[in-house]
Structure 1
């Protein structure tokens, strides 16, 4: 059958359907909540059963251990009771034996009384003999007293000699201990001086090696090849070795002369002075505002080692030693030195230049002087 619905009836049907759908969704939600509650109850019941089972097992183990302990104590007490019973039986036997011994001792006491009477008679005879011996003992005591006096005098003399010998021995031991202490102090002093000497020697060798590495890029490539050549005596004859040694000595002397021209070392302040006869430019890389026209001196001052820094500086003699370098410019002849700002820089970190044209001396010339 076909039913015709007007607009109002369609709206009522839609509202009814929406209410039905909403109620159905709420019913499903309630069902899901009930299912979750049942699952939670089942989980709690399972946990409760597991806990009770573990508790029962624990109580069973504890009761078993307590029963074993009680059984062991009962066995120990039974053994003690048996031991005490045996001791009591033995004491009864010993008591009976002691009673028999007492009877025997009574009989022996009677016999001893009879012997005591006989001994009294013998004692009277012995007393008479003892009177005779007293007279001889007095004489022996006088002789013994004289012997004791002589012996005590000898013992006193020996003790005095022993004391003097012991005192002298103690004095000698004290002197030996003092000498040993002085020897140990001298040995420690020698070890410290030797350690200090080797430390200074190693520091100076490191400075020399660092300066040599700094001056190597300034030399021509032919000199570098000679300096970097490793001479093997087994592969060449003696004349070649001598010639190369002479060349090396010559190069070393030339390098030292070159170093003396460029650098001057101050032993008191531990500083290296770089002498430069060139003038400062108008547009210097550091000043860009001052003009210097006289003889200048660049001072490279060594700073304390940066042992705690992770970014230690590189690419200079003191940088190779892991130390901080400060470059300062000073001019004692300039009249306007107070009104002019001298360039000063603290080099914290540099990159290592491998090219000979980018050595430290070339860079100093580019930075401070007109090329």
Structure 2
């Protein structure tokens, strides 16, 4: 096999310009596929990372959803938590909310703006001001660049603003990128709990199950009890929530879109394959004397076919490798302009090399088969 590969490389090297032009279609097609898959994988990774990961190993999450658009204040109550804690297999229950952002009205002079507000995160990169952990009843607030532009024409640092009637001091301004959602303002955890947390209903009940419990059965039993005994059963519906399944489904949709677009770009490889077939036909015609001599010395039809098929595959694989290199270069350039980072995965590289090999095998088979079927008498008569 090594000898046949070396012969193939020497044959390709004898006609560098012609073979390079033949590989050009492979190079462009593979580079395009690499770029599209990298952008798609990068976007999918960024979006799913923003959705967060969910640890569901030892818990079942129940969701309450209002049946009316005008009633969003319901949810689970302490009595509901007491009922759920008595479900067989449940160790303890914690009521939480899927919505962690409160709504508020911010006022500065004559300007009134509705905003989303949350408690201060552990880390926040500021474009202006100095970040520090606000403790207790601190009246500091961090606001987004957009809110700062809407409220102030000049510097917003140390300005006083009113949020739902409470005065705050602007301590810093942060940037919100296109790919990362953030609320319009952050206040200290204590202030958020005292002034704004009552706006957020407990629409989720996390049931921490015992190690030997059947999570699926626990979920079914809990939903039945809530439908029968839940305090908000007349204003909403109860169901088992599976956030990981939603994330996986969303990721699957994004991947399908990426692969479809990559497939469209990969159609150019069909055109490149026709070029490979054409150049292999030319190669077979030019080397009929070599074929005749090899047949005269005992080479079988299978040997002749395999030799030309290997040359076709080597030609395409070299084009695929060059295409991957150009794909890396293009992705590096594209990353300078994207709001997220395009990622080239091992899967994309393996797929590209597999497609290159397949193109060489498929489009090189017919010319190789023609060379293998050439009659020795006919070849010698030509000479």
Give the structure-2-normalised TM-score. Answer: 0.17
Greater per-residue helix proportion: 1
The TM-score with structure 1 as length reference comes to 0.17
Q: Rg: which structure is higher?
A: 1
